[in-house]
Structure 1
């Protein structure tokens, strides 16, 4: 059965890739060596029209228009997952909820009458008993138009212009930024960088809440993120949203919580180190306030080893929680 699964997986890979895959890429995707990848490709050629194109002296393989509908129609589990996610993001007021709902409608409309009848019982059961968790947070009013303008600026390689309210009650201020990324979640953020101006210091990218943006439009000024920009690396410099100087964070997990901490992601760049019956968690990050507030959820099972700045922030948050400040 393992060989059959690999063969079916390869059929999907070659039919869904617009650029095609090299033998090395096939081997990597399937977790096999190059020779096995070659044998699987040759076996598929007996049943499918496996085509190839030359890309900088490297052959790339793909299947063009040769799959039957049975290979691509969605399962009840897949449709239910999409519907659950769309409903959850709609409940949060997420800006991209409209896109998920549009995709869901297209997936459902692509099903014929027989497929809809086959999926209906399972889909109804799964949707009824599945929810995407909606956490406490701001009531948002982000519009699909604002999100569309951000994505339009990214696609066209232009800056984005908008009026922005930094805090509730303030007057909107005009902004022009280069779009460096979109962060979806309970709140949708634009990562934007103010274009470099003659005689002014260069500014770092910053977060802008999409729900606080009005009169959002694509600028006439060209501007796009550099090719070596890595959004994931930039995000890892902070524990959450707050951007500040990063610190070497060391947390000590008490024995009662070691098992839980080993299966917990504190930070993408974390390193775990056993220290007797305890566990040390190390990572480099800013966002000390967000780290301190997260540590409240551990009920005293995690102690701050360093830096002292994080201890200071934690003491401040404790006093505020007690109403002493």
Structure 2
């Protein structure tokens, strides 16, 4: 058997180890083969794994299933995968999400428990070496403080979804005020924001609550119906950062100088951006979003190597703040 066919057979065994197994149609779609080849593959599967079961499902289709215990040792996690999980845990903690980091570490330990014993020693040694080599893979810089109790309450409310009662201090508040909100998601960045609807507000708009300014949070037993049309990814694409203001939404056009263009070309300023290289070596980037203030914060770091073409209001905000003495780019 060729190496390629052996790899395909192991891949097929992994797919067939699922709860419902795999059909000939599944094999055709997954491997891009014709029906006869798919049939030969199931024959090879049964020969290699004698415990392979075949049965007819409720839709009248024949399925093949391999007991997971027979294929588990072929698919033990690699040291790179385990090390990546640990780095992800560290990143979550640095982002102020200790509850999620704890759950990911629990998953990592569960994976280790399910790994065949004979691989444990090598796996742990390789993981330790990789983590040592990747020890500088951290996200430095300031981050907001986190309260594990508040984080846990938010996570629980989002799973319901249940209404959440928070003690929140807004920018203009002299003291924290009690609010009842319906949580929709979390925005992660330099700061974390809870995206939620305040039923007491007649406009029905979603609002952002800074997580570090939530002094207390408790989950209620009141379930609420989320807007079925809401998608957090689509929602976030409306803004440059986390701030949402529909009055500012519109086309944004930035022009980077020929000196800054190669560096800017490696940036992803917005998921829906387009870039146009100019004859003089400059680069024009376009996207539609709101959040002028956050754009200003970012644009400042580029000094005088970027010009705001549109919108005029953003151009006015950065006018007078462009400087040419920064020694590098963001």
- Length-normalised TM-score, structure 2: 0.78
Q: CA–CA distance in 2 between the matches of 1:182 and 1:112?
A: 37
Match of residue 231 from structure 1: 232
Match of residue 278 from structure 1: 282
Match of residue 43 from structure 1: 41
Match of residue 128 from structure 1: 132
C-alpha distance 150-44 of structure 1, shift in aligned 2 (>3 A): farther
Secondary structure, aligned partner of 1:281: strand
Deviation of 1:5 (Å): 4.3
Match of residue 117 from structure 1: 121
Q: Would the aligned equivalents of 2:14 and 2:71 in 1 still touch at CA under 8 Å?
A: no
Deviation of 1:13 (Å): 4.4
Deviation of 1:139 (Å): 3.8
Secondary structure, aligned partner of 2:301: helix
Q: CA–CA distance in 1 between the matches of 2:105 and 2:82?
A: 11
Deviation of 1:154 (Å): 2.6
Structure whose CA Rg is larger? 2
Structure 2 residue corresponding to 1:301, chosen from 295, 305, 319 = 305
Match of residue 254 from structure 1: 257
1:23-34 residue pairs with structure 2 within 5 A?
30=30, 33=32
1:92-103 residue pairs with structure 2 within 5 A?
92-95=95-98, 96-103=100-107
Deviations 1:47-68 (A, max 9, x none): 34466756xx797978463342
Q: Would the aligned equivalents of 2:187 and 2:242 in 1 still touch at CA under 8 Å?
A: no
Q: CA–CA distance in 2 between the matches of 1:298 and 1:21?
A: 54
C-alpha distance 201-100 of structure 1, shift in aligned 2 (>3 A): same
Deviation of 1:3 (Å): 5.2
Secondary structure, aligned partner of 1:255: coil
Deviation of 1:168 (Å): 9.9
Q: CA–CA distance in 2 between the matches of 1:5 and 1:106?
A: 26
Q: Would the aligned equivalents of 2:144 and 2:190 in 1 still touch at CA under 8 Å?
A: no
Q: Would the aligned equivalents of 1:80 and 1:123 in 2 still touch at CA under 8 Å?
A: yes
- Please, which runs of 5 or more residues in structure 2 have no aligned partner? 47-51, 324-330
Q: CA–CA distance in 2 between the matches of 1:217 and 1:232?
A: 26
Deviations 1:79-138 (A, max 9, x none): 111112212333453342222233233333444543221113211111112144223223
Match of residue 191 from structure 1: 195
Q: CA–CA distance in 2 between the matches of 1:94 and 1:227?
A: 27
Q: CA–CA distance in 2 between the matches of 1:163 and 1:59?
A: 56
Range 249-258 or range 164-173, more displaced: 164-173
Deviation of 1:4 (Å): 4.7
- Please, which runs of 5 or more residues in structure 1 have no aligned partner? 320-325
1:108-187 residue pairs with structure 2 within 5 A?
108-111=112-115, 113-130=117-134, 131-143=136-148, 145-167=149-171, 170-185=174-189, 187=191
Q: Would the aligned equivalents of 2:13 and 2:71 in 1 still touch at CA under 8 Å?
A: no
**RMSD, aligned CA:** 3.5
Deviation of 1:244 (Å): 1.7
Q: Would the aligned equivalents of 1:190 and 1:209 in 2 still touch at CA under 8 Å?
A: yes
Match of residue 323 from structure 1: none
Deviation of 1:290 (Å): 1.5
Match of residue 214 from structure 2: 213
Q: Would the aligned equivalents of 1:194 and 1:205 in 2 still touch at CA under 8 Å?
A: yes
Deviation of 1:223 (Å): 1.3
How many residues are treated as equivalent by the alignment? 310
1:14-29 residue pairs with structure 2 within 5 A?
14-15=16-17
C-alpha distance 238-4 of structure 1, shift in aligned 2 (>3 A): farther
Q: CA–CA distance in 2 between the matches of 1:251 and 1:59?
A: 56
Deviations 1:151-188 (A, max 9, x none): 32233232222211234984221122222113345544
Match of residue 77 from structure 1: 80
C-alpha distance 52-238 of structure 1, shift in aligned 2 (>3 A): farther
1:52-67 residue pairs with structure 2 within 5 A?
53=57, 63=65, 65-66=67-68, 67=70
Q: CA–CA distance in 2 between the matches of 1:239 and 1:282?
A: 12
